[in-house]
Amino acid sequence: MAKKPIEIDCEEVWRQISNYVDDEVDPELRAIMASHFKDCAHCSAILDGTRNVVQLVGDGKAFDIPASASEKFYNKLNDHLATRQPKKR
């Protein structure tokens, strides 16, 4: 007789979904979740969306800083060094 697959409820899947995306669940739980995703359209949609969020926010283009801003990052250091220069000589 075929062994009945171990089931997992949707709420437990949501609790682990982020760890699943990061490959931070043990192989046994991973297999149980993978089988759940095949049968559950809701959880599968949440998995796809979560993966997509990780991809989009992780893409360098989403949170770049304008070049004009990065020049200003050194203003205080520039001022500090400018006041030190004469003493150095």
Partner 1 sequence: MATARLQSESEAGLLARVRGGEHDAFYELVRPYERGIYLAALSIVNNDADAEEVVQESILKAFKAIGSFRAEAKFSTWMIQITMNEARMKLRKDRRHLYESLDQPKKGEDDGDYVPRDFADWREIPCEALENARLREGLKRGVASLSAKYRQVLILRDIEHLNIAETAKLIGISQSAVKTRLLRARLMMRDALAPGFDGAWKKGR
Neighbouring residues of 13: CB distance < 8 A, sequence distance ≥ 6: 33, 36, 37, 40, 43
Is residue 31 involved in binding partner 1 (CB under 8 A)? no
Is residue 59 involved in binding partner 1 (CB under 8 A)? yes
How far CA 78 is from CA of 8, 69, 70, 74, 86, in Å, comes to: 59, 15, 13, 6, 14
Residue among 2 and 85 whose Cβ is closer to partner 1: 85
Q: Which residues bind partner 1 (CB under 8 A)?
A: 11, 14-15, 17-19, 21, 24, 41-42, 44-46, 48-50, 52-65, 69-70, 72-77, 80-81
